[in-house]
């Protein structure tokens, strides 16, 4: 029998919010999913999740109610905020979506309500930014009339193994009774268990350093790949050899984009600078990872050389990572821009990406797979599963003396036809 002790509202129905809302609707009687996008809500009502996180059959079976009308939130007692936390063009935290969520929720808060933030922020945002905003919008007092919690999201887009229910969930709240409410709500859907952090700020910090650590490890691999390339050594061969040691950390070089790893470190460095400390290592890692698009393009143009006045270069993949349709903060456009600046004619194909969004966000026109022929070079930028078969078509799409740039070593040099040049990070 479903629980009816809380009326739950999930604010934001993207990669994070939708899986949370669907899971909770399976265990709780009253769950509503809210998004400001009428287009998103309508698609979900029709039973389709364009992010691919929830299967259409599961969406059709859910009792979750979808809405873009904020007034329908008024009866809720437990709010979960899962809106994006991007950065601006100066790499500073953009709390606009979180503040907008507070402004939406405020007038709909009733005494006794709990508001839990899952959006990744720097330590102190929930207490020092969100609480005053909610108080101003609601006319209620935090800690007396409504109560705050924090439970950082850990969903990995496109990952079918590490899901909401299989990842330990961190929970934190401003007092013991509110923490008990979080324990009851999240404990009903997270089989992996809960970790109760001693404070909201600890939970905020734990999340932001998770992706910072990963960003730095990838930055190290990227810098090593540049060094080893100049030494004429295959990075993949070196990593395979080094990986035989029991305590070697298995990270790989690559493009680092998206709405988490490429963004969250800037939230931590912002907090650091506010506290009077200028971070060095974290920002150095960001500079290295942000430069990799230009590095890949330079290597591609160098391999093409003087084979054509206007090299014809195909790029496979535009999304920020493999097997997802998300274009947010993708670093593949950096590769494309640098190739075009070098005089190349670039053709981009990505069966996962939305063509209209690609044009709107980056001015990039996606091509059908059939358009990528007679190429001087093929750049496999994002290793979608759909591209695995391209290893058998290289002789058809790339000129005999052309180049294959296998960014993540997805194809491997052994499958490249003789006479073609091969390079990977």
What are the distances in angstroms from CA 339 to CA 1, 14, 46, 345? 58, 32, 41, 8
Give dist(CA 116, CA 98) in Å, integer.
12
Find, among 367, 346, 263, the residue nearest to 301 by Cα: 346
Phi/psi for 381 (5° steps) reads -85, -35
- Show the CA angle centred on residue 361, arms to residues 370 and 105, nearest 5°: 135
Task: Tell me the CA distances in angstroms from 77 to 2, 22, 140, 173, 181, one per residue in order.
Answer: 16, 18, 14, 15, 11
Our answer to whether residue 102 is catalytic in this structure is no
CA distance 267 to 121: 6
Q: What is the distance of C-alpha 252 from the center of its chain?
A: 17
Q: Give the residue from 41, 14, 37, 9 showing the smallest Cα distance to 24.
A: 9
Note the helical H segments in 275-392. 281-304, 332-341, 355-362
Beta carbons of 84 and 259 less than 8 angstroms apart: yes
Select which of 10, 44, 83, 260 is catalytic: 260
Cβ neighbours of residue 373 closer than 8 Å, sequence gap 6 or more: 396, 397
User: Which has the closest alpha carbon to 261: 315, 295, 317, 222?
Assistant: 222
Q: Which of 364, 401, 373, 375 is nearest to 312 (CA)?
A: 375
Contact in structure between 389 and 371 (CB atoms under 8 Å): no
Compute the distance between CA of residue 256 and CA of residue 261 in angstroms, rounded to an integer: 7
Q: Which residues are CB-contacts of 338 (< 8 A; sequence separation ≥ 6)? A: 293, 294, 296, 297, 298
Q: What angle do CA 13, 15, 18 make, to 5 degrees?
A: 40
Question: Under 8 Å CB-to-CB from 146, ≥6 apart: which residues?
Answer: 109, 111, 112, 113, 114, 115, 134, 138, 140
Catalytic residues: 260
């Amino acid at each position: 029998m479903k629980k009816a002790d809380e009326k739950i509202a999930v604010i934001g129905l993207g990669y994070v919010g939708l899986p949370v809302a669907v899971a909770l609707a399976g265990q709780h009687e009253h769950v509503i999913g809210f998004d400001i996008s009428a287009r998103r809500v309508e698609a979900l009502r029709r039973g389709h999740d364009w992010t691919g996180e929830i299967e259409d059959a599961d969406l059709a079976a859910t009792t979750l109610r979808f809405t873009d009308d904020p007034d329908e939130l008024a009866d809720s007692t437990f709010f979960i905020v899962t809106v994006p936390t991007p950065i601006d063009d100066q790499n500073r935290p953009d709390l606009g979506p979180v503040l907008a969520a507070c402004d939406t929720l405020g007038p709909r808060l009733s005494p006794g309500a709990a508001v839990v933030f899952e959006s990744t922020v720097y330590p102190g945002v929930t207490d020092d930014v969100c609480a005053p905003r909610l108080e101003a919008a609601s006319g209620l007092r935090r800690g007396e009339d409504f109560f705050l919690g924090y439970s950082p999201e850990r969903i990995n887009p496109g990952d079918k193994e590490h899901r909401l229910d299989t990842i330990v969930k961190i929970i934190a709240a401003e007092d013991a009774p509110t923490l008990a409410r979080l324990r009851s709500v999240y404990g009903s859907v997270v089989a992996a268990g809960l970790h109760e952090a001693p404070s909201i700020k600890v939970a905020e910090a734990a999340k932001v350093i998770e992706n910072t650590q990963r960003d730095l490890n990838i930055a190290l691999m990227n810098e090593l790949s540049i060094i080893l390339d100049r030494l004429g050594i295959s990075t993949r061969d070196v990593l395979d050899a080094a990986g035989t040691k029991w305590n070697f950390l298995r990270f790989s070089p690559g493009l680092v984009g998206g709405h988490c790893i490429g963004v969250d470190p800037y939230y931590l460095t912002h907090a650091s600078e506010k506290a009077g400390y200028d971070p060095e290592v974290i920002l150095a890692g960001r500079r290295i990872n942000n430069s990799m698009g230009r590095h890949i393009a330079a290597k591609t143009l160098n391999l093409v050389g003087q084979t054509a006045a206007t090299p014809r270069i195909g790029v496979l993949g535009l999304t920020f990572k493999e097997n997802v349709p998300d274009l947010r903060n993708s670093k593949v456009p950096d590769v494309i821009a640098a190739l075009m600046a070098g005089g190349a004619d670039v053709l981009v194909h990505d069966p996962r990406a939305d063509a209209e969004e690609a044009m709107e966000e980056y001015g990039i026109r996606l091509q059908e797979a059939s358009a990528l022929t007679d190429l001087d070079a093929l750049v496999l930028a994002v290793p979608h599963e759909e591209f695995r078969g391209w290893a058998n078509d290289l002789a058809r799409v790339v000129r005999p003396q052309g180049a294959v740039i296998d960014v993540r070593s997805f194809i491997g040099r052994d499958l490249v036809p003789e006479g073609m040049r091969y390079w990977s990070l």
